[in-house]
Structure 1
Amino acid sequence: MTGVFATADELVAASGRDLGTTGWVEVDAARAATFSQVTADEGWGDGLPGTLVLSYAAALLAEVFAVPGASMGVNYGLDDVRFGDPVPVGSRVRLRARIDEAAPGRGGAVQVAVGVVIERDGTAEPACTARLLARFHFEGG
């Protein structure tokens, strides 16, 4: 794993750092069907809903980014989400990530923006790009 951060200072110092690229994972029919049932979105035709593609980001990001030194991590939101190439069932996707910004926040927390690109195997255009926002809290902060 390329991005493991034990302290707030380490995380802040990583601003601008590439985290690397994950391995490929197949977007299987069972997961697509379950997602469609849960969201009641079954009219997506040849390409999967962008929200399903984006849902892979958290699990894939865990391959290249961890903050074991934080006492708590909070999903703060998303910025600049874009869906490019459609992702048919059976496609393989992977994620590239970069810490766009990591800045000290209130109470010793660190506000982090991670830029992600979800790529589909065999295509040049990304399936999805986004900035994932998180806030990490550290003991004594």
Structure 2
Amino acid sequence: MRVLHGLEEIFAAKGSLLGTSDWVTVDQARIDAFAGATGDHQWIHVDPERAAAGPFGATIAHGYLTLSLLPMFMVAVYRVEGARMAVNYGLNKVRFVTPVRVGSRLRGSTELVDAQPLDGATAQLVFRTTVEIEGAERPACVAETVSRQYFGD
């Protein structure tokens, strides 16, 4: 895990790969739980029998389920020391490149693309996380996220 100590180290890390998480398996239980939480019960996600005869040969994870794994991947690869809090500010770009078939293993590699000071105690950070599928040539997802780190009182 990469530890960034304060604003100076954050700005120095701009443009670098922060790390790659461990693998996580996307099983049908996770897909079903996500469908329940979001109300998206499309058959390609929750009906294994029908999905087996569909275009992907099995159920697939929701794209937004894959996206929702980013915090888990990111927290596994870096930590900012000295920040009193961090908030999500938004997304610049998200692409769902390859469907995630049930049973796939995913991991995330996170790069600090940009880091800008907003005032003396706040930084806006842009991360690019590439979500890999074990054994696949192309990633499941590439997402550029924006967060703000708050330091001081």
TM-score between both structures, scaled by the size of structure 1: 0.93
Runs of 4+, deviation exceeding 6 Å? none
Letter of the 2:18 counterpart: L
Letter of the 1:76 counterpart: Y
Letter of the 1:73 counterpart: A
Q: Which structure is higher in helix share?
A: 2
Letter of the 2:101 counterpart: P
After superposition, the CA RMSD in angstroms is 1.2
Deviation at 1:107, TM superposition (A): 4.5
Q: How many residues are paired up?
A: 139
Match of 1:106 in 2: 119
SS, match of residue 36 in structure 1:
helix
1:20 aligns with 2:33: no
Bigger RCO of structures 1 and 2 (CA < 8 A, at least 6 apart)? 1
Deviation at 1:29, TM superposition (A): 1.8
Larger Rg: 2
1:128 aligns with 2:127: no
- For residues 72-91 of structure 1, what are the structure 2 equivalents within 5 Å? 72-91=85-104
Gaps of 5+ in 2: 45-58
Gaps of 5+ in 1: none
CA distance in 1, matches of 2:37, 2:76: 26
CA distance in 2, matches of 1:9, 1:39: 39
